[in-house]
Every structure is written in C-alpha cells, then in structure tokens.
Amino acid sequence: MTTLKHPFPAAGRLLACALSFLLPAAAAAAPEPAKKGLTVEDMLAMQRVSGPVVSPDGKRVAFTVRDTDVAANRGRTDVWITHVDGTGARRLTTHPENDTDPRFSADGNTLFFLSTRGGSSQVWRISVGGGEAEAVTELPLDVNAFRLFPDGKRLLIAVDVYPDAATLADTRKRDQAREESKVKALVFDELLFRHWDTWEDGKRSHLWVVDVEKKGEPLDLMKGMNVDCPTHPFGGVEDMIISPDGKTVVFAAKDVGTRAAWSTNVDLFSVPADGKARPVKLTAANEAWDGMPAFSPDGKTLGYLAMARPGYESDQTRIVLLDLATGKRRVLADGWDRSPDSVVFSADGATVFTAADNLGSRALFALDVAKGTPRILHGRGTNGDAQLAGDRVVFVHDRLDAPGELYSIKADGTDVRAVTRLNEARVNAIAWGESEQFTFKGAHGDTVHGWAVKPANYKPGTKAPVAMIIHGGPQGSMGDHFHYRWNPQAFAGRGYGVVFIDFHGSTGYGQAFTDAIRGDWGGAPYEDLMKGLDAALAKYPWLDGTRTTALGASFGGYMINWINGHTDRFKALVVHDGNIDERMAYFDTEELWFPEWEHGGPPWEAADGYMKHNPVDLVKNWKTPTLVVHGARDFRVVDTQGMGTFTALQRRGVPSRMLWFPDENHWVLKPQNSRKWHEEVLGWLDRYTKK
C-alpha cells in the first residue's frame, strides 16, 4: 500500500524555498490572502475528470473533462489528452456541445468519441495532434455508447430501437409520428412502465455493427430480442465488449418481460460480430446479476462480475473467470470479502486490477489470477477507472480534500504519480477542513467506522455546530470521497463540524455487515448513528453537542423521518427524497426488487416487514424543525412521499419548509438548482444553530 506523493517534485520545492530567501524583505513579509472554506461556487468551478483511456503504446491517455456552465445551467464536456508521465495535458476538443467517451484507434493516431454536436449523439473522430473533428456516424437515432473493433474498420454501437423495427429509419419514423401526434397519452401492459426518471416508450437498447468507411445500414446483433443492453445500473460501454480477434461480441442484457420490475437477473450473451448467428446466453445457470465482461489479452478467458442471490441488488460481486474453450468457471479470490467493480487484465493476463469499497475508502486492488490473492495497490481516498499503461496503471483518484485527477502507479504498487493537475490552483486556494476517521462500538457490539471533519479555518478553543450527514443506498459508503452533491467540505466551509457514519448496511466492511440492514432499517443503523454521534462528541472537543443537526437523502432521508419520531436531540433536520411511509412507497416506486428484498416480500405477504420501522407511525412524536427537499422526476422515491412529510410537519405545527424541484430526479444535477439547494439547506441549518 502506498500514499500519494507531493504534487510538486522535490527539486522544485527546494528551488522555491531557495528563491524565497532572495526576495526583498517587504515582499517576503507580505501576507498571503486568507483562504476561505469550500463553497458551492468552488465546487461548480472544479473540472471533473473521468473516463481515462490509454493509447495502444501505453504512453498517452485520453479522458473526459466536465466544465460547469452556470449561465447555461448545465455541464459541458470535452476530450483531453496527456502523456502518462503527466506532461503535455491539453484540451483536444472545444465544441460548445458535449464530447465524451474517447477511444484510440489501433495505431494510436486518431481518437474516436461521442459528441452531441449537431443536435444528435453520434461518433466523431479527430487526430491526436488536433485539428477539425469529423463525423463517423450520421444515423437517424442517437448513439448511446460505442466501442471500436480492433481492426479500426468497424464500430459496435448501442442504439435504442423498437425490437420489431426493420431498420433504424423505421424506429425514427415511429418516433416522429409520436412527436407530431396531438395525443400524448401512454399505454402500458406491464412493468416497468417508468424507470429512474423516464417513462418507458417500448424501445430497447440493441447493439449494432457499423462500417466506419462504407456507412451502410448497420447490422443489428440483437434483432427482434426484447431485452435491454447494456443494463448495468447507470451502465453503458462497460457492459459491451469485443474479443481481441474482433470476431465475437459479449454483452449484458436483461429480459424486459413481466418480471423485470422484481427481478435482478441480468445475463451475459455472446454473438458473432458478423451477425450470422443468434446471441447465446452464457450465464443461464445464474438467476442473479451478471455483467461487466472483459476478455483476457489472449481471448481465451472471459472475466466478469456476478452476484449469487436473485433479487438482491447489493449482493457481493465476485470476479468469475470463464474458460471459453472448456466452459469451466472459477471464482477469483473466492474468500475475498469485498465487492470488486470491474475486471481489467494485465498484458500477460496474470493479474486483474479492480477497485472496491474498503473501510471508508475505495481502494485499488491487484488480484493474482493463479493464486487468487488480492493486494492493495492504493488504499487512500476513492479510486477507480483503472486502465493499463505499460508497466503502470492509470486511475482516477479523489479524496475529501481534493476532486478527481488522474494518477498512475506501478503495477507492483509503488511510485504513485500525478498525471493531471487541472484543479491544483483551485484546491490550493481553499481552506480545507481537516478530516479524521474514527471507530466505535456500534449495534451488536460491532466495530463501526465514521469520519469527522473540522470547520475550515478552525480557531483552537472554539466549538462548532454539528452537521451529521446520513448516506443513502442504504448499501453504500460515505468516506474519503469528494462529492458534488453532499460534500462534507461545503458544510465545513460554512463553519460546521461534520460527522458521518458508515452504519450497519454500509459497504466495504464485509458482506455480512452490508446484509445486516435487511429487515432492520430503523434498528442497528439508527443505533449506530446515535452511538457514532456520541462517540464523535466525546472524542472531538471542537464539536458543540448542544447545536447538532442531521440531514440525509434517499435512505438517509428515510432515516431523518425515523429520527424525528425517536429523539429531539437535534436542533434542525433536512430530509431529501426520503420515504415517510414504507408500505405506500412500495406501490410508488419502480424497482420492486429493492423493497421486496429489504422488507421480506411484497407488502400483502410481508406486512410486518413494512410496518416494523415505518416513520409514518411515529409522526405524533415529530417536533424538530425540518426542511423537506424533493424532485418531481424522482421515480425511485416519488415526490408524494416528500409532500406527505411536509403535510405531516405542517399539520403537527412543526416549523418546516419544502423545497421542490420540478426539473430534478433523485439528485439535484443542474448547476443553478445546486446553488439553490445549498442556499436553502445551509440557511436552514444556520437558522437553528446560531448562538
């Protein structure tokens, strides 16, 4: 395990120190401008680095950078390129529309990428030396994701179509008819009829092969199949892969029939890239989730992730290695109690690189394929998007006091180096709250982890009001991570001491700890939060226990409602997209597998599971001032739950306020809405914690 080095070379630091002695005394004594804590404006100004892709020779890396256009109320993305050694970083595309998902050609001289220029998402290409980009596809429908075949002559693209449509043009014709119709009614015969924040329209994501130069009618590899690909949560290109010889495509897809709303069964399929045979299901024996396929460099092994328990979306993921010649499978590192998020083979196929939640961080791991032994390459902060670059691994790294940048590390876990420093000046201009992880004895006598963050520019001997943030999921983790919606530093920058706890149900502490929340939403998690807050107040004298607040979203929002019924220790609460009534929430939501797993089945079969820890039953106890936040396009936790919460608070005479976003889903994504969110949330906490 290694730690990140100072971003400046030692020689440069020594030179800077030497030069400081040569400055005139007056200049040397000039005070530096006072740094301020992180604000929402600082977060919006950060450049967001993602999606690194390494060139075939391992010397360069292309990646996507998002800049926030506050005036236009949106983010816009460009493709950048740099050398793996960290030199020569430059913006390669500068179009006003979004350019994303770069892919190198086989010779490394051209970059293919997705762009929304022209009003449609299509594949474009540009020389790595710069110049004008040109369109590669000019299809009547949007391209959602793509991969480049090894020969560079073909593309594998994902496009939404009607399964029975003969051509892409036929789908577009039907879409136009809908757009022009005065009748906007939708008719549904089965679930899911809506998902996340979108109403279903009968289209399915299919994979197509496109000739780069001929540009004829694409070949549908999934013709007539009533399945969606890719289907990994928020997934895309990671669920579609091409074999090294370019002859086979493997993809993940889910049957969208009548069980789609309460089944987590996603399968891997294999299909010849020439389309001369139908797709074959590779994982029929597993009725749980399979996805994230990756070929070994020699093409003989298919690695992928798999869960074992049907209906459980947060089951442990395991890396499965499938011998394509014999059909034999084995779990890599079978006794490893973590959930890897990807499969990246080394050049010789002897090592698999991946990332996984680990004790409040997201660590980068290397797994020996022969022995199955995992080792940590880099443990601090949040790490992911690993890509092989010769004898190094390029990855995205962030932490509580720094947004994501590209780093590289030797495959043996030594010599960590910064590859990009796009946010360096912005980071250095901010006074960051010091953070520390702590542990305590929580529910069932188990060791539970938490974090505490000091207020920015903390003055010794003073006490700060407390903001306890409760993470969602509930199977998730809030740790050493730079977040753009629930960033602890934004509260520390306002003068709050911040506490957050990875309660029972959190990830990164073993699967049994994650599983423990099932059927116990208001039990062990609530106990952990209260004990964790007590432990933090006892350990950190700079926290003012008489001025505590709590806030959370999703499961965290549910927990705020549960807290309101159990204690009045908090001066103020914020509930964002949280359920008030678990029983009714089952009928509101779209992914039924989630409540059925968590509460033991549908409510007509497992009524006790829904009523065991139901906030609505304790509204009579509510007395803490509460801000309610909800998005109208949230189909996961429908906004009527927020309306019900606000109604109960008002009818009870509890000081309350509702912030409702008609154009947001489960998150607040638009820049100006984010400004409003921070203004309202921080203002609400200030109102009840000022002395």
With tokens 């443990």, the residue in question is: 379
Nearest Cα residue to 219 out of 151, 277, 300: 277
Catalytic residue among 239, 502, 634, 639: 634
Q: Where are the beta strands (DSSP E) in 74-109?
A: 74-83, 90-91, 99-104
Q: Is residue 205 annotated as part of the catalytic site, yes or no? A: no
Where residue 223 falls (left for φ over 0; alpha for ψ -120 to 50; beta otherwise) is beta
**Cβ(435)–Cβ(400) under 8 Å?**
yes
Q: Is residue 634 annotated as part of the catalytic site, yes or no? A: yes
Q: Write out 69-129 in H/E/C secondary structure.
A: ECCCCEEEEEEEEEECCCCCCEECCCCCCCEEEEEECCCCCEEEEEECCCCCCEEEEEECC
- Would you state the structure tokens that stand for residue 240, as one six-digit string? 């579609």
Q: Is residue 263 annotated as part of the catalytic site, yes or no? A: no
Alpha-carbon distances of 174 from 138, 167, 218, 630, 682, rounded to whole Å: 19, 11, 18, 34, 47
Nearest Cα residue to 475 out of 437, 447, 504: 504
Catalytic residue among 449, 471, 504, 666: 666
Nearest Cα residue to 55 out of 126, 92, 104, 89: 104
Rounded to whole angstroms, how far apart are CA atoms 269 and 253?
Answer: 7
Q: Which amino acid is at 267?
A: D
Taking the CA atoms of residue 296, residue 241, residue 103 and residue 407 in that order, the dihedral angle to the nearest 10 degrees is -50
Rounded to whole angstroms, how far apart are CA atoms 435 and 453?
Answer: 4
The DSSP symbol for 2 reads: B
- Would you state the structure tokens that stand for residue 188, as one six-digit string? 């549904």
- Would you state the structure tokens that stand for residue 367, as one six-digit string? 């797994």
Backbone angles phi, psi at 530, to 5 degrees: -70, -45
Nearest Cα residue to 602 out of 612, 611, 610, 613: 610
Rounded to whole angstroms, how far apart are CA atoms 358 and 656?
Answer: 38
Catalytic residue among 205, 263, 342, 554: 554
| Residues classed as catalytic | 554, 634, 666
